Chains A and B, each alone.
Chain A
Amino acid sequence: MTTTTLNKAGDAPAGNAGFARLSATLFNEFSWIWGGLFALFLICSVVAPGVVRPAALSSLLPFAAILAITAVGMTVVIQQRGLDMSLPGTMTIAGLLFAKIGFMTGSTLLAVPLTLLIALGIGIVNGLLVAKVNITPIVVTLATNAILMGAVRAVSGGSPMTAPAELAEFSHSKLFGVPMTLVLALLFILVISVVTKRSIAGRRFVAVGQNPAAATAAGIPILRYQVATYAVAALCFAVAGMLFTGFIGSASQTAGIDYLLPAIAAVVVGGTPFSGGRGSVIASGAAALFMALLGQMVLAFGAETSVQLLVQAGAIIVAVSVRHLPDLLRWIARG
């Protein structure tokens, strides 16, 4: 099978490396989502034009942006062949802690770094348990999620807390007419994308995810990267949690629960594989918008949220299948 790919590639004009690089950047498994997003916009504008009106979009975008930030965090973990099931706990506790610290100290400026610091700690614990103690990521993060949900109950005392006014204001604010949540999401996507694709640390991160043994042999300290992965993810979840709290105006005890499945779904639809290493936070971000838009479209038809869930499940299956169409045909042919 390796020879066929080589031959196919051999048909391209040799030596035209710049072009090859460009086309590899533009057309790969991560570009499907752009086609999908474009098609969805077209379909929406025909069958449910209400969904793509500016007013509707601007009410959709903040939630899509929060989903995109969680999806970014999930993407980096999946690039390390893991899965972070502690998203609900981290996101919820971050929203609560932020509100609590904000009210206790009366200072949002203090509450933000403190909350992020705690999230960093959560991520580092996850990372160490996965990389150092050698426990399967899903088990580690399920367990830490349970502990975090316990902490949520302890912190909240069982009732939601009002978000500090400053945060609510910030979450609803706009920068040059763009919702602040979206600005932050784009910032996250941009920074993490540049870091993973263009920085030395990012290259090593990708290498560790793709083949840890080879990374070790190449002199890369893999533990550091594996732990940092979970730390970055926890930071993403925490920021999403704070924004969500600000946006809905109160810190609930269930804020993160509804984001776990959509976040994983967005990563899968975006095209980041579970084989480790390769991945695209940009595609995950686009997929987050895709999923949010798809949901809106379904709702516009007057369907229940349940149908929305069904359509999302279908999107995952379709997204995976289109990338495996050749394999699939071969499998069917063989019986």
Chain B
Amino acid sequence: MSSARKLLEMRGVSKHFPGVRALHDITFDVYAGEVHGLVGENGAGKSTLMGVASGALVATEGEVHIDSDPMSGDPDRARELGLAIVRQEPALMPDLSVAENLFLGMPHAKRPSLSALNTWARGLLKHWSEDVTIDPRDHVSTLNPEQRFIVEIVKALECEPKVLVLDEPTEHLASEDVERLFERVRAVTARGAAVIYISHRIREVQAIANRLTVLRDGEGQGTFDARNMSEDQIVSLIVGGDLDRTFPAKASEASTRTVLSTRGFSGPGFSNVNLDIRAGEILGLAGIDANGQREFMRALAGIHRGSGDVTLLGKPISIRNSQGAKRHGIAYLPGDRHREGIFPELSIRENFSIRSPQEDAALGLIRSGSEQRRTVDAIRQFAVKTPHGETPIQSLSGGNQQKVVLSSVLAAKPQVLLVDEPTQGVDVGARAEIYRSIRETARSGVAVIVVSSDAQEVAGLSDHVAIFSRGRVVDMLSGDDVTEDRITSSVLKSTEQRDRHHRPVAAFWKWAASNSAPLVMVAAAILFLGAVAGMWNPFYLSPRSLTGMMTFAATLALVAYGQQFLMMVSGIDLSVGPTMGLCQVVGSFFLLQELGPGSHVAGWVLLLLVAMAVGVVNWILVEGLRMHPMVATLATFMAVQAISLILRPVPGGMIDGDVMMALSMKVGIVPVTFIAAVLLALVLEFWLYRREMGVSMRGLGSRQEAARTAGIRPKLARFVAYVGCSFLAGLAAITMIAQVGIGDPRAGLTYTLGSIAAVVIGGASLFGGRGSFVGALLGAIFITQVNSVTVFLRLSQEWQQYLLGFLILASVALYSKSREKVVQA
């Protein structure tokens, strides 16, 4: 082995986070042609080590070489040097298809032509398995975790990396796919590359790895030949001989009073769980992640809906929602602190008192003295390191945040305490204090359930431990059996694979959530409305009426394209309406009959330059001043409108008749502007789905972080979007000149709302990533049609607005519902 090339070399790597030493002096080598297993418990430092190797984290000390080239804290460089990482939670863009994700995941040299994209992607997926069930055209958001993971692995394998890092690759895979993965891994090493295989499952690592390195508490425990080690030897290295953490003493005598019990309790991810939790005791739930223990706890907390019998102090209760759980005295300390535990910008005081405000209330109002006193007490009791209670909680370290959340949960005086990952991201010093608080809570008569992926923690804290596997309790440990070894071996030795699970989705919803559904629905609505109006009043279908509608639709469509362009990257531009007005006002100074062609040319150029300048200003406000897009473009809305009004306080400046004639030219009954708008929609649509930049833009709107990993530059892309949006508004203004004929500063105002309405009816998502220029065109046609149809149907004018409002709501509600339905948890 030693003669082989070192593809990854890490020397003396240490990594410190504020208050936590995550890695200490690690030396780690990977040779060409080997599979190197990396094992250790949660929090042992495996992910941190790979973060340093992939450039996502910068080492505090030490150096990293990839194939002899030094690299430090630069993910792009690491990728160029040939390191690819497959994470547990894949970096995919949910609103893009599988094929597009694979496309953006490739280095530029390996990207195929976008016209044969799906065939290419199908070929790639076939490399994984001949009978692969993933359709390359499916949106990634509709895949289940297993399928997403397969896409991620296929993507990584196809890049032919020199070093491939697989982080817990088999968590989401069914057994035949685990076999398939092993074959691929062997193929990778056979071509001289290396694989780093991170896993909890020791048997798997032994089956595939040549060598393995054990990490514990951020320190290397040595590198060994995988085949010379027994499973038990590895387990003892992972766990460590001596306990270097202090846990409080356990419950001295067995309690007899059952506080909470479940019978046949089932829910999403767990089934038929029968457990009893007694007063004064801590019940630990252990198992490999996503085996139902956490889901069980969340159902008790009322966040998921569970079914079955739950009794609290002998009385049957039903937990409908989290509020109901709280009313029954069940308090929950969430595991994902950032997402569910803290209110980041609020003070410690507000974070503390939010779960028990009634303690401070008199006559419905909170007495600040009492709240203050309780906060100070909590800070002191839990030794929260902070100058005072007014500090925003987000500025505290993880451990101190956790102490505040725990103190808040306990202040609600629960009967049952549910604790998910009590010490995740918490430094060693704070851990002991948290353990002590939990034990004291139990001693005071509260029934406590703890979920933790750290076996040492479960062993040290719990009086009883339930082992979960595939959503069921498979083992129960009590008394002297509650040791880390017993828990770890019971958990690790379970090599059961997961069932395939895919929530069936009705065909209608699946179709309604697709990119093309809004187009078909809006087109059908246009034809229907046209047919009804035509039957009612034949004049509606007269050439004159149709020409008029197409003229207006063209203008609305052009500005809607701009809005769509920006919404694709999660932006919004409220200033498009005034921008159109300003462009038109600018034109009204130059495009006059008495002025020569030179002035006309200057007018056209200036008109478009003004539009683009507005876009640049918007971009600077959003990107530079970090203004919310709505606030930024609202400010430009006002400013641009003001400038128009200053230039032309009252409408004036008759546009040259020849210009008007040219702009209102027709081919048959179809205005040239409408033809141009249709062509532009097709060109832009082609660009959006068939050009690398268009696909990148959609990826950026769908998930910025994943897009960045794929090498997309968000600032540049948003610059293009803002300027492009305003430019299209400028084009719309040109077509508007023919309708207005005079410099009117207010001419464009209604187009802001019109453009937003058109794109959302056309299927765009305000969150970005979804949308279509053809959809925007159809939306614009539909709105124009609704505006004119009321006249022909002899409906009173207000119907114009009723129809518009209800149609927006109906279409968006349908899209929103369908997209929710198809998303796989």
User: Is A321 in the interface zone, CB < 8 Å from B?
Assistant: yes
User: Is A278 in the interface zone, CB < 8 Å from B?
Assistant: yes
Q: When the two chains form their complex, are residues B800 and A214 in contact, meaning their CB atoms are under 8 A apart?
A: no
Chain A: minimal CB distance from B80 (Å): 23
User: Is A207 in the interface zone, CB < 8 Å from B?
Assistant: yes
Q: Which of A15, A143, A306 contacts B809 (CB 8 A)?
A: A143
User: Is B508 in the interface zone, CB < 8 Å from A?
Assistant: no
Of all chain B residues, the one with the shortest Cβ separation from A140 is B809
Segment touching A, from B163-171, B338-346, B690-698: B338-346
Q: When the two chains form their complex, are residues A150 and B322 in contact, meaning their CB atoms are under 8 A apart?
A: no
User: Is A160 in the interface zone, CB < 8 Å from B?
Assistant: no
Chain A: minimal CB distance from B304 (Å): 11
Of all chain A residues, the one with the shortest Cβ separation from B398 is A2
C-alpha spacing A323/B645, complex, angstroms? 30
CB-defined contacts of A207 to chain B, threshold 8 Å: 343, 346, 350, 354
Mark each residue of chain B from 21 to 44: 1 if its CB lies under 8 Å from any CB of chain A, else 0: 000000000000000000000000
CB-defined contacts of A2 to chain B, threshold 8 Å: 18, 394-397
Contacting residues of chain A (137-178) with chain B, CB-CB under 8 angstroms: 138-140, 142-154
Q: When the two chains form their complex, are residues A277 and B345 in contact, meaning their CB atoms are under 8 A apart?
A: yes
Contacting residues of chain A (19-37) with chain B, CB-CB under 8 angstroms: 20-21, 23-24
Q: When the two chains form their complex, are residues B766 and A309 in contact, meaning their CB atoms are under 8 A apart?
A: no
Segment touching B, from A60-68, A96-104, A113-121, A198-206: A198-206
C-alpha spacing A264/B631, complex, angstroms? 8
CB-defined contacts of B630 to chain A, threshold 8 Å: 83, 138, 274
* Most A CB within 10 A of own CB, among B345, B649, B806, B809: B809
With contact pairs A83-B630, A204-B354 given, residues A309 and B388 touching in the complex (Cβ less than 8 Å): no
C-alpha spacing A277/B808, complex, angstroms? 28
Contacting residues of chain A (265-307) with chain B, CB-CB under 8 angstroms: 265, 268, 274-275, 277-278, 304-307
User: Is B119 in the interface zone, CB < 8 Å from A?
Assistant: no
Q: When the two chains form their complex, are residues A133 and B757 in contact, meaning their CB atoms are under 8 A apart?
A: no
* Most A CB within 10 A of own CB, among B572, B638, B766, B767: B638
Of all chain A residues, the one with the shortest Cβ separation from B804 is A146
CB-defined contacts of A5 to chain B, threshold 8 Å: 391-392, 395
With contact pairs A203-B357, A206-B346, A217-B341 given, residues A135 and B798 touching in the complex (Cβ less than 8 Å): no
User: Is B127 in the interface zone, CB < 8 Å from A?
Assistant: no
C-alpha spacing A214/B397, complex, angstroms? 18
C-alpha spacing A198/B369, complex, angstroms? 12
Q: When the two chains form their complex, are residues B395 and A327 in contact, meaning their CB atoms are under 8 A apart?
A: no
Contacting residues of chain A (42-81) with chain B, CB-CB under 8 angstroms: none
Q: Which of B326, B340, B389 contacts A17 (CB 8 A)?
A: B389
C-alpha spacing A290/B420, complex, angstroms? 49
With contact pairs A135-B813, A204-B354 given, residues A154 and B798 touching in the complex (Cβ less than 8 Å): yes
C-alpha spacing A134/B817, complex, angstroms? 8
Chain B: minimal CB distance from A201 (Å): 8
With contact pairs A21-B372, A21-B390, A304-B649 given, residues A200 and B364 touching in the complex (Cβ less than 8 Å): yes
Of all chain B residues, the one with the shortest Cβ separation from A81 is B628
Mark each residue of chain B from 801 to 818: 1 if its CB lies under 8 Å from any CB of chain A, else 0: 110111011001100110
Q: When the two chains form their complex, are residues A261 and B638 in contact, meaning their CB atoms are under 8 A apart?
A: yes
Q: Which of B355, B372, B642, B809 contacts A219 (CB 8 A)?
A: B355
With contact pairs A5-B395, A17-B376 given, residues A134 and B361 touching in the complex (Cβ less than 8 Å): no
**Count class of interface residues, chain B:** 35 or more
User: Is B624 in the interface zone, CB < 8 Å from A?
Assistant: yes
CB-defined contacts of A108 to chain B, threshold 8 Å: none
Q: When the two chains form their complex, are residues B321 and A147 in contact, meaning their CB atoms are under 8 A apart?
A: no
Mark each residue of chain B from 626 to 652: 1 if its CB lies under 8 Å from any CB of chain A, else 0: 111011001111110111111001000
Q: When the two chains form their complex, are residues B366 and A200 in contact, meaning their CB atoms are under 8 A apart?
A: yes
CB-defined contacts of B766 to chain A, threshold 8 Å: 136, 138-139
Q: When the two chains form their complex, are residues A17 and B388 in contact, meaning their CB atoms are under 8 A apart?
A: yes
Segment touching B, from A6-14, A234-242, A243-251: A6-14
With contact pairs A5-B395, A17-B372, A139-B766 given, residues A261 and B634 touching in the complex (Cβ less than 8 Å): yes
Chain A: minimal CB distance from B638 (Å): 4
C-alpha spacing A260/B731, complex, angstroms? 28
Q: When the two chains form their complex, are residues B388 and A14 in contact, meaning their CB atoms are under 8 A apart?
A: yes
CB-defined contacts of B638 to chain A, threshold 8 Å: 261, 265, 309-310, 312-313, 316
C-alpha spacing A320/B820, complex, angstroms? 35
Chain A: minimal CB distance from B776 (Å): 15
CB-defined contacts of B302 to chain A, threshold 8 Å: 219
User: Is B92 in the interface zone, CB < 8 Å from A?
Assistant: no
Q: When the two chains form their complex, are residues B388 and A12 in contact, meaning their CB atoms are under 8 A apart?
A: yes
Q: When the two chains form their complex, are residues A213 and B339 in contact, meaning their CB atoms are under 8 A apart?
A: yes
Q: When the two chains form their complex, are residues B323 and A150 in contact, meaning their CB atoms are under 8 A apart?
A: no
User: Is A107 in the interface zone, CB < 8 Å from B?
Assistant: no
CB-defined contacts of B361 to chain A, threshold 8 Å: 199-200
Chain B: minimal CB distance from A230 (Å): 14
Q: When the two chains form their complex, are residues B642 and A135 in contact, meaning their CB atoms are under 8 A apart?
A: no
User: Is A105 in the interface zone, CB < 8 Å from B?
Assistant: no
Q: When the two chains form their complex, are residues B18 and A3 in contact, meaning their CB atoms are under 8 A apart?
A: yes
Of all chain B residues, the one with the shortest Cβ separation from A262 is B638
User: Is B753 in the interface zone, CB < 8 Å from A?
Assistant: yes
Chain B: minimal CB distance from A288 (Å): 16
CB-defined contacts of A17 to chain B, threshold 8 Å: 372, 375-376, 388-390
Chain B: minimal CB distance from A77 (Å): 12
Chain B: minimal CB distance from A121 (Å): 15
Of all chain A residues, the one with the shortest Cβ separation from B639 is A313
CB-defined contacts of B639 to chain A, threshold 8 Å: 309-310, 313-314
C-alpha spacing A142/B760, complex, angstroms? 11
Contacting residues of chain B (57-107) with chain A, CB-CB under 8 angstroms: none
CB-defined contacts of A109 to chain B, threshold 8 Å: none
User: Is B607 in the interface zone, CB < 8 Å from A?
Assistant: no
Q: When the two chains form their complex, are residues B808 and A146 in contact, meaning their CB atoms are under 8 A apart?
A: yes
Of all chain B residues, the one with the shortest Cβ separation from A15 is B388
CB-defined contacts of B572 to chain A, threshold 8 Å: 138
C-alpha spacing A136/B760, complex, angstroms? 10
Of all chain A residues, the one with the shortest Cβ separation from B631 is A268
Q: When the two chains form their complex, are residues B646 and A218 in contact, meaning their CB atoms are under 8 A apart?
A: no
* Most A CB within 10 A of own CB, among B301, B344, B346, B798: B798
List residues of B whose CB falls within 8 A of some A CB. 18, 301-303, 321-323, 325-327, 331-332, 334, 339-347, 349-350, 353-355, 357-358, 361, 364-366, 368, 372, 375-376, 386-392, 394-397, 572, 621, 624-628, 630-631, 634-639, 641-646, 649, 753, 756-757, 760, 766-767, 796-802, 804-806, 808-809, 812-813, 816-817, 820
Contact sample, A vs B, 17 pairs, CB 8 Å cutoff: A6-B386, A20-B387, A24-B390, A135-B809, A139-B808, A146-B804, A203-B353, A207-B343, A211-B339, A218-B322, A219-B322, A274-B628, A307-B642, A308-B642, A310-B638, A310-B643, A317-B635
Q: A10-B387, A12-B387, A150-B801 are in contact. List 14 more A-B contacts (CB 8 A).
A: A6-B391, A6-B395, A133-B817, A153-B801, A154-B796, A198-B368, A200-B366, A204-B357, A214-B334, A216-B322, A220-B323, A278-B346, A320-B627, A328-B624
**Smallest CB-CB A-B distances: 8 pairs:** A219-B326, A150-B801, A306-B645, A147-B805, A310-B642, A146-B805, A313-B639, A20-B388
